[in-house]
Amino acid sequence: MVTSTFNTTKSEEIFAAAQKLMPGGVSSPVRAFKSVGGQPIVFDRVLGSYVWDVDGNKYIDYVGTWGPAICGHAHPEVIAALKDALDKGTSFGAPCFQENILAEMVIDAVPSIEMVRFVNSGTEACMSVLRLMRAFTGREKIIKFEGCYHGHADMFLVKAGSGVATLGLPDSPGVPKSTTTNTLTAPYNDLEAVKTLFEQHPDQIAGVILEPVVGNAGFIPPDAGFLEGLRLLTQDYGALLVFDEVMTGFRIAYGGAQEKFGVKPDLTTLGKVIGGGLPVGAYGGRKDIMSMVAPAGPMYQAGTLSGNPLAMTAGIKTLELLNKAGTYEYLDKITQKLAQGLLAAAKETGHEACGGSLSAMFGLFFTAGPVHNYEDAKKCDTNKFGRFHRGMLERGVYLAPSQFEAGFTSLAHTEEDIDRTLEIAREVMSRL
Cα 209 from Cα 145, distance rounded (Å): 8
Cα distances (angstroms) measured from residue 261 to each of 111, 251, 256, 258 = 11, 13, 9, 5
Q: Is the dihedral of CA 27, 269, 159, 400 positive or negative?
A: negative
Cα 151 from Cα 394, distance rounded (Å): 31
Length of the chain: 432
By DSSP bridging, strand 58-61 and strand 397-398 are parallel
Q: What is the DSSP string of 37-66?
A: -S-PPPEEEEEBTEEEETT--EEEESSGGG
Cα distances (angstroms) measured from residue 319 to each of 51, 89, 101, 219, 249 = 23, 22, 11, 24, 11
Phi and psi based region of residue 351 (left: phi greater than 0; alpha: psi -120 to 50; beta: remaining): beta
Cα 401 from Cα 382, distance rounded (Å): 11
Residues 6+ apart with CB under 8 A from 162: 30, 149, 216, 217, 404, 405
HSE, CB side, 13 Å, CA atoms: give it for residue 82: 16
Q: Kindly list the catalytic residues.
A: 149, 244, 272
Cα 274 from Cα 317, distance rounded (Å): 9
3-state secondary structure 384-427: HHHHHHHHHHHCCEECCCCCCCCEECCCCCCHHHHHHHHHHHHH
